[in-house]
């Protein structure tokens, strides 16, 4: 039997603009980069070949995120379970930033529905696993980690007739570091992300659980990132050789709905995404919420641990 997990209440609300914003500068270099992203790059996204956009954006992101790249390399050493050596870490961090740049260019593609036809797929494996899970009739929870290609993969699946609801965190204006950013760029940023995801529910919405259950009970597909850490209630468990806090509410949703849980791995980018579904996970029944989480967390966490070990440069948590 798995050891008892610790359940912690740890919810902090969204940090929206307040009186402290008055001390912020009017504009920063970050604001200018956001402006370039929303306008010139967005205009180019529909006209240039995808790989050319990646080629243009890559060096800019390497320069802009050089400090985050160094921090990411150090962070890799704090997760010994991934198996990255000190010599490998800087190279993996650099590749991760390049994949981050490609994913941001792909967001421009996703935000414009007229460009959906430009998404290319290099192959889908294990689709029979997804079909078998759907046939059970209780909905499917698609289990992922924060991989750069997940968004583009879900849009491609929607094109194939597999619409996926994404469970995500509502963007906060706290990420903007200037008055201009909070007043002008933040509303556009939030609206832009809504166009990227389209079919979404925010974890902080009061009806979040009800909307997820409704989708599952209708036989639909819902995607959760198990490694997300914006939590009302967390379950602690070792992850990649270090402590991690997992969303406890997801386990209650699985227990209440009786849905199937299918791992999905997405790699590549909009010029050629690769999707792989695993077999549905055999969850262990339990009477209570805490008991169910304790019994099944090692199973679900183990599934995404293997993905990260096999594709460390695709995990966005090194950078974010």
| 158 contacts 164 by C-beta, under 8 angstroms | yes
Q: How many residues does the chain have?
A: 320
Q: How many helices (H) and strands (E) does the chain have?
A: 12, 10
| 195 contacts 45 by C-beta, under 8 angstroms | no
Average pLDDT over residues 205-220: 94
Residue 117 tokens read as 């036809």
Q: Which residues make beta-bridge pairs with 222?
A: 141, 165
| 79 vs 8, more confident | 79
Q: Give the pLDDT score at 149.
A: 97
pTM of the model: 0.88
d(CA 85, CA 34): 34
Residue 37 tokens read as 């992203």
102 closest CA partner among 65, 51, 155: 51
Cα torsion 91, 95, 96, 98 to 10°: value is: 140
| 81 contacts 305 by C-beta, under 8 angstroms | yes
- What residue spans define the domains of the chain? 23-318
d(CA 265, CA 130): 13
Q: Give the pLDDT score at 306.
A: 97
Q: Give the pLDDT score at 102.
A: 95
Query: Is 2 a residue whose pLDDT tops 60?
Result: no
d(CA 283, CA 228): 20
Average pLDDT over residues 10-29: 57
pLDDT digits (tens, 9 = 90+) for 153-205: 999 999 999 999 999 987 766 666 777 777 777 788 888 888 999 999 998 88
Edge-first strand order for the sheet with 6-9 is 6-9, 233-239, 242-247
């Amino acid at each position: 039997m798995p050891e008892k997990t610790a359940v912690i209440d740890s919810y902090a609300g969204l940090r929206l603009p307040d009186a402290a914003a008055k001390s912020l500068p009017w504009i920063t270099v970050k604001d200018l980069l956001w402006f370039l992203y929303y306008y010139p790059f967005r205009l180019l996204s529909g006209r240039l070949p995808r790989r050319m956009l990646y080629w243009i954006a890559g060096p800019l992101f390497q320069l802009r995120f050089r400090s985050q790249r160094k921090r990411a390399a150090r962070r890799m050493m704090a997760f010994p379970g991934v198996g990255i050596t000190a010599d490998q870490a800087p190279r993996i961090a650099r590749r991760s930033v390049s994949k981050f740049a490609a994913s941001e260019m792909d967001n421009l593609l996703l935000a414009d529905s007229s460009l959906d036809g430009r998404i290319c797929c290099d192959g889908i494996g294990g689709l029979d696993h997804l079909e078998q899970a759907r046939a059970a009739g209780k909905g499917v929870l698609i289990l992922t980690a924060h991989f750069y290609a997940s968004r583009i993969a879900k849009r491609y699946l929607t094109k194939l007739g597999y619409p996926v609801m994404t469970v995500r965190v509502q963007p906060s204006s706290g990420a903007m570091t200037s008055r201009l950013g909070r007043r002008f760029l933040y509303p556009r940023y939030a609206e832009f992300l809504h166009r990227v995801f389209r079919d979404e529910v925010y974890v902080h919405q009061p009806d979040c659980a009800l909307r997820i259950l409704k989708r599952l009970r209708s036989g639909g597909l819902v995607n959760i990132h198990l490694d997300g850490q914006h939590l009302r209630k967390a379950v602690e468990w070792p992850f990649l050789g270090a402590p991690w806090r997992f969303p406890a509410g997801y386990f209650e949703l699985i227990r209440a709905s009786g849905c199937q849980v299918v791992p999905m791995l997405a790699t590549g980018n909009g010029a050629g995404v690769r999707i792989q579904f695993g077999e549905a996970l055999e969850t262990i029944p339990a009477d209570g919420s805490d008991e169910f989480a304790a019994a099944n967390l090692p199973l679900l966490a183990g599934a995404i641990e293997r993905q990260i070990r096999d594709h460390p440069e695709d995990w966005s948590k090194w950078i974010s």
